[in-house]
Amino acid sequence: MSKHVLAQNQYGKAENRIVTVTRKGDAGAWHEIRDLNVSVALRGEYRDVHLTGDNGNCLPTDTTKNTVYAFAKEHGVASPEAFGILLAKHFVTSQAVIHEAQIRVEEYAWERVSVPTRKEQHSFVRTGQEVRTAQITYSANTGLQVLSGLKDLTVMNSTNSEFHGFLKDRYTTLREAYDRILATKVTARWANSAPAAADEEHDWDRSYQKVRRHMLEAFAETYSYSLQQTLHAMADRVLDNVPTVNEVRLNLPNKHHFLVDLEPFGLENDNEVYFAADRMYGLIEGTIHRDGVQPVIATSDWITA
């Protein structure tokens, strides 16, 4: 018997890639697709499997994988959140030794290639680099938690951004900027309210699009004196306009654009030609939540860029 203490542990099947095709219309000629990457993590009574190798309480990870695909057929994929809720509740309620299940989902977007002269509509092209995310945690003791999100949403303002008046010491070489490019690759997670998470009719797709739109509008409309200010404005706009969201956490790497020195060539660079640096970068992170609401997105659970 080990003299040490087994602490937090979990297991499951990670990155189950699944694509569903839903056929609608006359003869099923109109297709809708969902392209997901689903990871399952289970927590519960697993002391014996760690200490003695007794697998009596261990539901095979292969079974969790099979469950993902079977549920896609039996229940369909209405949204990443709805699908994750179904899976999480199933694992906890179907096995007494499983006390908590966490489902993480990434969704990859496809845009329809529409051919007006063709009745069938089943051609798609991958759109951009944005990935939709969801994390669903269900516990018999603490209930249901739904975190929605996105990553790899690259945005840019080519003006209306400054950065000056900052602290300086003997190692400071950065010049103050009064007209600069502001660009970032947005990673965001937001905590949905308990009533929204429990509402089986909640429209997760509509909620996602609404949060995304308000973040982008805030980014575009904020005259920025720092990326921190822009971060706060983006989260603030979401909380002001989406009442079912209680908390927003943003991860914003500053995608630096530096003016190129063209003087050696006898040319003036009037904020027209920039060098886009991909490394190194400033990394701005922050969480904004409603007053009086306990934050649920743990910093330790946050994967930085």
Give me the active site residues, please.
13, 61, 256
Is 228 annotated as belonging to a binding site?
Answer: yes
Is 9 annotated as belonging to a binding site?
Answer: no
Beta-bridge mates of residue 157:
182
Beta carbons within 8 Å of 296's beta carbon, 6+ residues apart: 145, 147, 191, 246, 247
205 DSSP 8-state letter: H
Is 95 annotated as belonging to a binding site?
Answer: no
Is 163 annotated as belonging to a binding site?
Answer: yes
Closest Cα to residue 18, out of 141, 137, 108? 108
Give residue for tokens 């300086």: 168
Residue 153: strand, helix, or coil: strand
Beta-bridge mates of residue 24:
30
* Straight-line distance from the first to the last Cα atom of the chain, in angstroms, rounded to the nearest whole number: 41
Beta-bridge mates of residue 144:
138
Is 62 annotated as belonging to a binding site?
Answer: yes
Is 61 annotated as belonging to a binding site?
Answer: yes
Binding residue positions: 61-62, 163, 180, 228, 254
Binding residue positions for O2: 61, 254
Binding residue positions for 5-hydroxyisourate: 61-62, 163, 180, 254
